[in-house]
Chains A and B, each alone.
Chain A
Amino acid sequence: MKSVLDHLQSLGQKGTGVFERLGRANILFARILAGVPGLFLRPNLVIQQVYSVGVLSLLIILVSGLFVGMVLGLQGYNTLVDFGAEESLGVVVALSLVRELGPVVTALLFAGRAGSALTAEIGLMKATEQLSAMEMMAIDPIRRVLTPRFLAGFISMPLLAAIFSAVGIMGGYFVGVGLLGVDDGAYWSQMQDKVDLYDDIYNGVIKSIVFGIIVTWIAVFEGYDATPTSEGVSRATTRTVVHSSLAVLAMDFILTALMFGGG
């Protein structure tokens, strides 16, 4: 029978534990960044990781982007047609994707597919003492293993988000213009009029870069910090997906408020 004091104590322990982890995560981030300049001499490491993190995520991004765009086309049309404003479908699809759905959904999918894979891979390397072996061979495992993967995520996310948005807009086009009869010219011309390069596209790219940093950082940290047992790695992988998803959604609110708030 735990007393109230015991419960309070364990709560406090968890609290300090959270700050401890945050501290470790920040130190790790600094060490990861310190390894970036060295990678210019070894682009192969980064290229290999861009393949496993970016290229292998292409399929899910393409398919998801297409479907999301098509749904937007469908739902957008259904709502706009009541106001006689279905000619504005292009605007609705484009702005929804470029401002929000492109960066956010891509980040969530990325966290699930690439983020969890990164955590599992690094956690497994830790559990089988490969990271320790590297240390004893006088090779900094952070610079050799973590930094290339972090850079790869940083590069891949904005590209994936752009592809998602572009494919989604095409999806909306197929449904809206192809199936539902929205005017071809109106779809594009209204879109071009209303979507601003700086306010919408630029901000969307900024968002995807920020999300890329967050998701990859969390994925890499959880793997490096995992308890080196199979259970520990599995828990770390779950934490990556949950924490990075929540972080992305929270950051999205903050960024949206900063970028688009107040009209």
Chain B
Amino acid sequence: MSDTSDILISVRGLSFSRGSRQIFDDIDIDIKRGSVTAIMGPSGTGKTTLLRLIGGQLRPDKGNVVVDGEDVHALRRGQLYQLRKRMGMLFQNGALLTDINVYDNVAFPLREHTHLPERLIRDLVLMKLHAVGLRGARDLMPSELSGGMLRRVALARAIALDPMMIMYDEPFTGQDPISMGVLVRLIRLLNDTLGLTSIIVSHDIAETAAIADDIYLLSGGKVVAHGSADELKQSGSEWAKQFIQGLPDGPVPFHYPADDYAHDLLSGGPN
């Protein structure tokens, strides 16, 4: 049952805590079809957790997540798996299966979920690898790939089943400028040519702002700013200002909460 409205994913009143930490506190997020939406925020705000909640790997304490008209956490195991076939996910380190080569990694979802003959699978795999520029690397093992190449192969795998959306978990972290440029280009290109909806979780401002249509800024478990890149630059919000400009101190403090400095130094005893 597909929903043809504008919004592909709608998150309402989502609350989630892990142990004693409240990670999300009643947040609302809308992801529009066909757009590239960025979820940004300082490290540790649980951005990866959000992707897991959308994908149904974690259950929220309160609130719901609706993907293409279906409430993710109300689905039974079989239905959830059907939904996941339409979602692609790119993990931070690629998460390729290390005991098989590039070709078999990209072919993996095709072999598991379809009964296509090997000839057809070969065509599909080569097409996906070509789209990310790694068709020539198909016989390499994951251990022989650089970080950037790993992620591109993982991207090829993520689009193997022609999903309706892709979630990117920190795709730009730790990449050299060239790899970063490649990935940025690929994400936008694939999104537009394949008619995907993309969610990027990141804290790399420059790269993400260059391709994102919509940006959500999270901090302290809440959405503190929302809008396009230009809107955020011009907004008066302290959060937006600190994040976009990369200021060391502001709403996200420099100092981890601690006692008074003079008192701590002068008391002289054990911690």
A and B touch in the complex (CB under 8 A): yes
- A137-B108, A137-B157 provided; 15 other pairs, C-beta below 8 A? A124-B98, A125-B98, A128-B93, A129-B91, A129-B93, A129-B95, A133-B97, A133-B154, A135-B57, A136-B84, A137-B85, A137-B109, A139-B112, A139-B113, A140-B81
Query: Interface on chain A toward B: helix, strand, loop, or mixed SS?
Result: helix
Assembled-state Cα–Cα distance A232/B241 (Å): 40
Number of chain A residues close to chain B: CB under 8 A: 14
Interface on A for B, CB 8 Å cutoff?
Answer: 124-125, 128-130, 132-133, 135-140, 144
Interface pair A136/B98, CB less than 8 Å apart: no
Contacts of B57 in A (CB 8 A): 132, 135-136
Tell me whether B55 is interfacial, beta carbon within 8 Å.
yes
Given contacts A136-B57, A136-B89, A138-B113, contact A130 B95 (CB under 8 A): yes
Q: Is the CB of B112 within 8 A of A130?
A: no
Provide the residues of chain B in CB contact with A144, threshold 8 Å: 112
Within 8 A of A (CB), among B88-123: 89, 91-93, 95-98, 108-109, 112-113
A132 CA / B112 CA spacing, docked (Å): 16
Is B175's CB within 8 Å of the partner chain A? no
**Roughly how many angstroms separate A130 CA and B154 CA in the complex, as a whole number?**
11
Total interface residues on B, CB under 8 Å, equals: 21
CA distance A206 to B245 in the complex (A): 69
Tell me if A133 and B81 are in contact (CB < 8 A): no
How far, in angstroms, from A136 to B84 measured CA to CA in the complex?
Answer: 6
What is the minimal beta-carbon distance from A167 to any residue of chain B, in angstroms?
31
**Chain A nearest CB, measured from B54 CB (Å):** 10
Which residues from chain B contact A136 at a C-beta distance below 8 Å?
Answer: 55, 57, 84, 87, 89
CA distance A8 to B102 in the complex (A): 53
Bound Cα distance A129, B89 (Å): 12
